[in-house]
Amino acid sequence: MKIGWIGAGIMGNPMVHHLLKNGHEAHVYARHPQKVQNLIEEGAVLEESIASLVQHSDVICTMVGFPSDVKEVYGTIFEHIEPGKICIDFTTSSPSLAVALAQQGKDKQVTVLDAPVTGGDAGAKQGTLTILVGGPKETFDQLQPVFSAFGKDIFYCGVAGAGQKVKIANQIMIANTLQGICEAMTYLKSQGCDPALVIQNLQNGAAGSRQLELLGPKMLQNNFDPGFYIKHFVKDLRIALDQKEVKLTGVENVIQEYITLMDQGYQDLGTQALIKYFQ
């Protein structure tokens, strides 16, 4: 299977690495080719344009930053794609945009899946991502060899847009969990206790979480290197709030804290930098 990949950044780069490792032919397009040099050395084919990538690929995968990027990239893809090909958008994006892309693809006899992932850069590097897929079930089944190259838990969520909706639910939970961790550490410090006790004493109890395990130590070390950028998390939370069916009080609070950090120039730090808001 010839796989084209657009967006080989913190997440996409290791995902392509696993595709190559599993014997897939990978074609990559990057605005900054030096950032995919490692993939070229592993055997990936560097394409000079999106049009060229689409021409040489059976399955076109995207992993970009924002919904606006998704719209721009698929505008070009749809200009050049041939009937019968498949697109997978791994970007966390708007459910309504996912539905629109699926319809545009259908009009061109192209199947488009939304397949956002969770697990962070660690999961991408280890090939253990959770993949949340929306679109035709038969296409989901057909693409298992692609998903299993870098995914451990691969879920069919339903029709187009369903994968994005489940991913946004994931981001809602993460936002509230990070808030709780920061408040707990700040509380202990204010009471004359070591904030590290949140991890040492509570990780294996009822309040333990993946976020505490992975990001708690980084908070204590003031290590804010991005596994997931603040600017991208704010984008996800804005998508969560872009609906009127349910009030998300926790998300409303957390996004304002992150926006404050962005206003201070911290948009390219990792999400664990939320602790800076409390310092």
Please report which confidence band the pLDDT of residue 92 belongs to, taking 50, 70 and 90 as the band edges: very high
Longest dimension (CA), the chain: 65
Q: Where do the structural domains in the chain lie, given as residue ranges?
A: 2-158, 166-278
To 5 degrees, how large is the angle CA 209–CA 186–CA 239?
Answer: 55
60 close to 47: Cβ distance less than 8 angstroms:
no
What average pLDDT does range 229-241 have in this prediction? Answer: 97
167 among known catalytic residues: yes
Strand partners, 88: 61, 113
Q: Which of 85, 125, 165, 167 is catalytic?
A: 167
- The confidence score (pLDDT) of residue 86 equals 98
The predicted model scores a pTM of: 0.95
- Looking at domain 166-278, does it have CATH number 3.30.70.330? no
- The confidence score (pLDDT) of residue 1 equals 86
Distance, CA of 115 to CA of 74 (rounded, Å): 15
What percentage of residues in the chain have a pLDDT greater than 70? 100
Quick one: which of 176, 159, 157, 177 has its CA closest to 167? 157
For 2-158, CATH gives: 3.40.50.720
What average pLDDT does range 96-104 have in this prediction? Answer: 98
What average pLDDT does range 97-120 have in this prediction? Answer: 97
Q: Hey, how many other C-beta atoms are within 10 angstroms of the C-beta on 221?
A: 9
**How confident is the model over 25-69, as pLDDT tens digits?**
999 999 899 999 999 999 999 999 999 999 999 999 999 999 999
Distance, CA of 263 to CA of 279 (rounded, Å): 16
48 close to 56: Cβ distance less than 8 angstroms:
no
- The confidence score (pLDDT) of residue 166 equals 98
Distance, CA of 191 to CA of 198 (rounded, Å): 13
Q: Would you state the structure tokens that stand for residue 255, as one six-digit string?
A: 């996004």
Distance, CA of 46 to CA of 53 (rounded, Å): 8
Residue 118, sorted as left (phi over 0), alpha (psi -120 to 50) or beta, turns out to be: beta
